[in-house]
Structure 1
């Protein structure tokens, strides 16, 4: 039964009293003072806001809005002008009202390049308290920047609908109203909107009042927010429904979704409620707002999937709503993990916020780490801790190039802020935190976090504040390790030799640096870390050590040695040949998490030239056919990547047959169809096996999928179910021109925004170059939708990166319209990520020469990675061939 809750204004507003007045006050270190010089700012540091009152009137049909805003602020020193952040606003009226009621009419001068506006009237603005009133108009965007629109089909009628949403992180609240749009300038917000009477408006706080205005309009006023940074403000409007429930702590949680979503919201709602209580307990601070909504937006972004607006999380529908017709087990898992991440942000990021974007990882790394902890707590059978190894591996892949950056990085421009949302910030941040938690111990670590949260709630911090809190809780030496792993880039390399002597294991350990593009330089002059090790010998309990440079250890017992037991360390391990051979022999018997870490390490070390590829392939082959499903899924992914090196080579069929010989029996054991009551990780493995074996052209798998796919011609629901996306992906890769047209027609007719975008994206997956070009041409039409077209281009790039790149460059202005401002600099780097062609390198270097320095950083990374792939591909190809020929 679908439950749609109306606004419970009186009950929810009573919850505002749960925010203590002293807690919502000024951040202690900034009370009565401007932003200190130690915190970066693009504003003059002469004033601070305390409260905003904003009323907007959106015109969704014409993609414009008007607004009036009042900012209560304090000026700390005499000035000729007040400077606030503003972008793409036309400010038509401005006045400054002093505490005595005197009014100064102001002139507004916008600086589009700096994204600021100066208010002045030729007179000196003296220190004191003021209110700045403005009236203005702005643009509703078609990509997720500022206030933006998403168009989608009505789930019942298929008619066109338009919803409005906001995305302000990092620098886009200034597109909504003139603001002090930087994290350090926290203030409270009153938001009001004049909207169509038959639509639902939603924001951070519950609705305080609704006033009918006539002519089909109403004014909705929301409750006053707690003190927060401007990028966390949210507004949404549309034909929505809300499913909600109360939590034991008193917070009401809800899922806001397009009308007709019904029970698709149930899974997210039922899993949202327990997360609030879990985080209340873990952080030692109760969630302070009266409600927490998660708002589903149809469409997608090239920059983000969800956003942690305080009390009003925004998540794209494809990773929030559970549609049985298309949601796979992997996506259902992603729904949970994404929500766990965004709810963790309500504390780490919203309640306590980094002072400047340099410390963005304090938000994202911790939310990533916490999402894994919460997921493992509530769903231990999903093996979330094993999944963390995948994230660490992805981060190391970026972090081992000269173009990497530290976790705590220097951010000075808007473009640099946009680029900071990467795997170093998220996955390396998570891996380092997991390592530091292991170093401190879970209890001490949690005590330190709780002390940190209590001391800094409603305020802003830097990384050092957290380290000091954990050290004070009982983890001496943690700051040194934390600074080394967060303030210098790169990946430590631990080289180990060992032997058994008289019943003990003698180890010689040396710390170096792992690099993919400067191996000799890194070996000759490596960076230095204090590396936490957890070493296991045979069946003995692991022991903790800190490696500084080189050391020798004698450990009791003999047997297989694992230097990074439990895979909590952020480093690669290069074992002596005999030790690596022993690890390969015993791999089937060691813990699954160590199987994953060792295989990833050895493949990466071989690809970078540290050791022979043959021994790495031996270790990969040692992963047993009956391995843990998460381990097996990772192994299958590695086999698939390696197969790419032999595409078009005489040995391709032999290698693909070897993969099928190894893994087809596991698929046959699982069955080609989902089974009632099976584990989610088994279902994920089935999808991975079908996808990999189907992509590699295994006849049994391809024929089974094509048989199912053919049913779509007469029955559009023929593939509905948890395998739909997997089956479509394989079929789309092998689709004929007639079948491609059928998919395009199914996309156009679907009433599901998620299904429609899936069909359109997969239209770009064809291995037929002519069809791939047809898909690119489709991307520039209005048919897919403004936020979907870019995904067609990236889909084409998986098979034809150079074709996609050339298409983008030939249509740059039109393609730019399909990508959020924040995602443009990284979009083209994803397009070339599968290339290993020298001609692509030449084109990419030419493109890089057209960019400003801050825009070029992602392209520099792509160039470095492409150079490495070009250099590594012949060696990897030869290594695989030699291994096959043994």
Structure 2
């Protein structure tokens, strides 16, 4: 699953004439129960009682999109390893009708069904002991179609023909397959699946496997039966149906890949398709296992989620349209890059997650951290000019943004409830997982690492695994000692801090004395007992790095050469690096000559250390100012964003320091924008186009007169030219206008949103209505979010947009309309939604409100609120010092 980051850029219903109640689908017959044989062992992880193990499902579905309900039949081949009073599996928000247990020879026993809504289970009892053996569990049921991405859900949009349209999709990770059919809905209960669906004749139905057959079902409907899936976890099952078209091609690996999108999408799918076609053979080679399904589709869905952008259903990836289709009128350079990155992530999951699946959600990082690491490797392979490896530093920083607080958790964490599973999809699981894997690959060596991965895949394909299985495979391939390092970084939380205690150059050699501590944001000065085996890569004077392991909290190194020292050369280590003031000054002078990845990593590292209070701001700001204005565009992008973040630290206090910071940033970076120009150039590199986008957005935010004037000029031109803003900078120009919008401009934005024919454009325009500085206009946006006008999946994003400028105002609105707002958020994101609303808060009043709110929610859902409170309290404690020291530094320039 591709998680939504906090900073990411942003029908008339089809009547089926009551067919959902007619139960027109006949379920493909499961294999008849055979004589008892040795039954498989129960999974060791999970929460289901050990009563039965599934081997095959046959599920039939008849949706009624107009009524937003569906009816279904299920038949599950199960093994009962030992006698039991009842068979218990997962079911949520389903009404099960008749149910029976079919034994060997076809003898059927009627079953009584009881539900446990809290545990989301259904127990099937026969009124007598069910003996060990093979059975088929059969039944009928009904369920509801959601308006958010959970279970079976509907997305409404305006088709390319201008007509209202409704499409159906499914989203099951982590625990929502149980809303689609009764299932053993845990990752280690793998089984094969047969799926049949009844849909309108003109619609395209998609699932994990190709269509096996289609047959008329009467009343303008057809029954579509899909081929049997490989053995897989329930959360990977997928079904979608709608007015779709499919663009496809055959890969060099002999697998057909396709992009399924709303009719009329046309060439908007071409870029994604070409990228998808290259990924399959690349991963075949890397993992040493050929993709085992005959086809691989990526399905574009309109709308958006507050939780994820894409999901790795085996053979049928689901991606929200904004992150899959390339529309030259609206797609930004960052969004174009994300199309590749998101696909690289989800296709990596086809092996790491789908072919081999973590046994339980404790090891979710095996899926997500690995796919995040692989997405960067694949993107760098296909697009080395995009500087994906430099961008990996940003992922490390996102992870450390959570990991520096006492509210953090280890990469491998205990998960017991659905809420806890949802909360596990965070920057620790994804970005820290990626950073640690990159560090371990560097320790093992690329070839040894890959050999270990291939052995791991071969040993566990079509099965489940634990983290230790991966470490054992890589160690067996030759990476001795890797498990010790890996355990330190995955089983305990936190960030190592490596301090330079002393440094001396003599005889052409530099001797360094390094000591280990823990970097933290809310426990600075407190002693820490945590220690890590830290793989070091230390470079002096631009020379080749020296490898070492810090095993006991301190080490002394003697390295050839003298000059500036980088104690995390290549930025492959997951640790912060604290230098002496003299060394930091030397690094600022040498920064333009360092490798771009070290430039970016050093700037991020030193600013975070300074903001946390480990060193004064002056040295870190000097490093930021030393980033070469004509240097690597990825490094420049980070530098201008860092100025933007510092600008936000000043809050609403428009004093001399804030103005001076804006002036300094504009003086440093307006020349780069002037060189790039306001408009794209033919053949320019994507990182340059992306840098232009960032410069326009940030300099506009800082109030650079020329950029603000250009935004208003282009916005005014819409009155006579509806295409005046079309192009890759559309959202940046609109961002400047909406932030500074007058009431008249806000009304114009609303009219543009209502008139937009593009699903993505319409959603983006509505969200822009919330991204305003004027609190009165923010109130109008909040009120709009509770109407049907923006669309069911856009409204929550409007409230989130308001929260970026007016966090307390958005939170108050949430409290006043709590149930209505939560209905606008997909189930996976509800626990963490309040954390998003509080992401920029910086007042004691907000602390008090969140503290009171925390008391109203279940203990298992409190962790995101605790994280938000930790960040706000830290801002209140550190922002005065940060802004004061920044103002003093600016005055001395």
Name the TM tier (shorter chain).
over 0.9
Alignment-derived partner of residue 361 in structure 1: 365
Alignment-derived partner of residue 493 in structure 2: 489
Alignment-derived partner of residue 819 in structure 1: 825
Deviation at 1:745, TM superposition (A): 1.3
**Superimposed CA distance per residue, residues 349-396 of structure 1 (whole angstroms, 9 cap, x where no aligned partner):** 000000000000000000000000000000000000000000001101
- Residue 525 (structure 2) pairs with residue 507 (structure 1): no
**Superimposed CA distance per residue, residues 789-830 of structure 1 (whole angstroms, 9 cap, x where no aligned partner):** 000001111110000000000000100110011101111111
- Residue 623 (structure 2) pairs with residue 624 (structure 1): no
- Paired with 2:77 and 2:306, the residues of 1 have a C-alpha distance of 36
Q: Per the alignment, in what secondary structure is the counterpart of residue 229 of structure 2?
A: coil
Alignment-derived partner of residue 380 in structure 1: 384
Alignment-derived partner of residue 390 in structure 1: 394
Alignment-derived partner of residue 547 in structure 1: 550
Q: 2:425 aligns with which of 421, 431, 436?
A: 421
Q: 2:763 aligns with which of 747, 753, 757?
A: 757
Alignment-derived partner of residue 541 in structure 2: 538
TM-score by length of 1: 0.95
Q: Per the alignment, in what secondary structure is the counterpart of residue 520 of structure 1?
A: coil
Indicate if the aligned counterparts of 1:154 and 1:161 stay in contact, CA closer than 8 A.
yes
| Matching of residues 272-421 of structure 1 within 5 Å | 272-421=276-425
Q: Per the alignment, in what secondary structure is the counterpart of residue 127 of structure 2?
A: coil
Deviation at 1:777, TM superposition (A): 0.4
- Paired with 1:619 and 1:478, the residues of 2 have a C-alpha distance of 34
Inter-CA distance 67–670: structure 2 relative to 1 (3 Å threshold): same
- Paired with 2:721 and 2:751, the residues of 1 have a C-alpha distance of 13
Q: Any gaps of 5 or more consecutive residues in structure 2?
A: 1-30, 32-36
Indicate if the aligned counterparts of 1:452 and 1:465 stay in contact, CA closer than 8 A.
yes
Give 4+ residue runs of structure 1 displaced > 6 Å after superposition.
none
Q: Per the alignment, in what secondary structure is the counterpart of residue 128 of structure 2?
A: coil
Indicate if the aligned counterparts of 2:334 and 2:690 stay in contact, CA closer than 8 A.
yes
- Residue 150 (structure 2) pairs with residue 151 (structure 1): no
- Paired with 1:46 and 1:430, the residues of 2 have a C-alpha distance of 37
Indicate if the aligned counterparts of 1:35 and 1:184 stay in contact, CA closer than 8 A.
no
Q: Any gaps of 5 or more consecutive residues in structure 1?
A: 1-24, 26-30
| Matching of residues 604-619 of structure 1 within 5 Å | 604-619=608-623
Q: Per the alignment, in what secondary structure is the counterpart of residue 686 of structure 1?
A: helix
| Matching of residues 43-82 of structure 1 within 5 Å | 43-82=48-87
Deviation at 1:526, TM superposition (A): 3.4
- Paired with 1:35 and 1:568, the residues of 2 have a C-alpha distance of 41
- Paired with 2:116 and 2:571, the residues of 1 have a C-alpha distance of 50
Inter-CA distance 771–35: structure 2 relative to 1 (3 Å threshold): farther
- Paired with 1:713 and 1:111, the residues of 2 have a C-alpha distance of 58
Indicate if the aligned counterparts of 1:713 and 1:742 stay in contact, CA closer than 8 A.
no
Q: Per the alignment, in what secondary structure is the counterpart of residue 289 of structure 1?
A: coil
Indicate if the aligned counterparts of 1:104 and 1:121 stay in contact, CA closer than 8 A.
yes
Q: 2:131 aligns with which of 126, 131, 136?
A: 126
Indicate if the aligned counterparts of 2:42 and 2:53 stay in contact, CA closer than 8 A.
no
Deviation at 1:45, TM superposition (A): 1.4
Deviation at 1:607, TM superposition (A): 0.8
Q: Per the alignment, in what secondary structure is the counterpart of residue 254 of structure 1?
A: strand
- Paired with 2:171 and 2:701, the residues of 1 have a C-alpha distance of 37
Alignment-derived partner of residue 479 in structure 2: 475
- Paired with 1:870 and 1:140, the residues of 2 have a C-alpha distance of 44
- Paired with 1:113 and 1:691, the residues of 2 have a C-alpha distance of 46
| Matching of residues 715-864 of structure 1 within 5 Å | 715-864=721-870
**Superimposed CA distance per residue, residues 833-857 of structure 1 (whole angstroms, 9 cap, x where no aligned partner):** 1111111111111111111111001
- Paired with 2:448 and 2:319, the residues of 1 have a C-alpha distance of 34
- Residue 681 (structure 2) pairs with residue 675 (structure 1): yes
Indicate if the aligned counterparts of 1:297 and 1:314 stay in contact, CA closer than 8 A.
yes
- Paired with 2:115 and 2:368, the residues of 1 have a C-alpha distance of 32
Q: 2:192 aligns with which of 188, 192, 214?
A: 188
Q: 2:595 aligns with which of 574, 591, 597?
A: 591
Indicate if the aligned counterparts of 1:344 and 1:367 stay in contact, CA closer than 8 A.
yes
Alignment-derived partner of residue 215 in structure 1: 219
- Paired with 2:452 and 2:560, the residues of 1 have a C-alpha distance of 34
- Paired with 1:541 and 1:327, the residues of 2 have a C-alpha distance of 41
Q: 2:693 aligns with which of 687, 691, 707?
A: 687
**Superimposed CA distance per residue, residues 588-636 of structure 1 (whole angstroms, 9 cap, x where no aligned partner):** 1101100111111111001111000111111111111112000000000
Q: Per the alignment, in what secondary structure is the counterpart of residue 436 of structure 1?
A: helix
- Residue 647 (structure 2) pairs with residue 643 (structure 1): yes
Deviation at 1:298, TM superposition (A): 0.1
Alignment-derived partner of residue 108 in structure 2: 103
Q: 2:47 aligns with which of 42, 49, 54?
A: 42
Deviation at 1:32, TM superposition (A): 5.0
Deviation at 1:121, TM superposition (A): 2.6
Report the count of equivalent residues: 853
| Matching of residues 238-277 of structure 1 within 5 Å | 238-277=242-281
Alignment-derived partner of residue 717 in structure 2: 711
- Paired with 1:44 and 1:139, the residues of 2 have a C-alpha distance of 26
**Superimposed CA distance per residue, residues 278-307 of structure 1 (whole angstroms, 9 cap, x where no aligned partner):** 000100000000000000000001111000
Deviation at 1:181, TM superposition (A): 0.2
TM-score by length of 2: 0.95
Alignment-derived partner of residue 97 in structure 2: 92
RMSD (Å), alpha carbons: 1.1
Deviation at 1:576, TM superposition (A): 1.2
Indicate if the aligned counterparts of 1:329 and 1:683 stay in contact, CA closer than 8 A.
yes
**Superimposed CA distance per residue, residues 432-482 of structure 1 (whole angstroms, 9 cap, x where no aligned partner):** 000000000000000000000011100000000000000000000000100
**Superimposed CA distance per residue, residues 149-194 of structure 1 (whole angstroms, 9 cap, x where no aligned partner):** 0000011x22110000000000000000000000000000000001
**Superimposed CA distance per residue, residues 184-234 of structure 1 (whole angstroms, 9 cap, x where no aligned partner):** 000000000011111111000000000012210110000000000000000
Deviation at 1:100, TM superposition (A): 2.4
- Paired with 1:117 and 1:770, the residues of 2 have a C-alpha distance of 49
- Paired with 1:753 and 1:526, the residues of 2 have a C-alpha distance of 53
**Superimposed CA distance per residue, residues 97-132 of structure 1 (whole angstroms, 9 cap, x where no aligned partner):** 011211100111111111000001311100000000
Q: Per the alignment, in what secondary structure is the counterpart of residue 123 of structure 1?
A: strand
Deviation at 1:770, TM superposition (A): 0.7
Q: 1:206 aligns with which of 203, 210, 217?
A: 210
- Residue 238 (structure 2) pairs with residue 234 (structure 1): yes
**Superimposed CA distance per residue, residues 56-85 of structure 1 (whole angstroms, 9 cap, x where no aligned partner):** 000011110000000000001111100010
Deviation at 1:33, TM superposition (A): 4.9
- Paired with 1:876 and 1:121, the residues of 2 have a C-alpha distance of 68
- Paired with 1:484 and 1:645, the residues of 2 have a C-alpha distance of 34
- Paired with 2:45 and 2:288, the residues of 1 have a C-alpha distance of 30
- Residue 603 (structure 2) pairs with residue 578 (structure 1): no
Deviation at 1:35, TM superposition (A): 5.3
Deviation at 1:502, TM superposition (A): 2.0
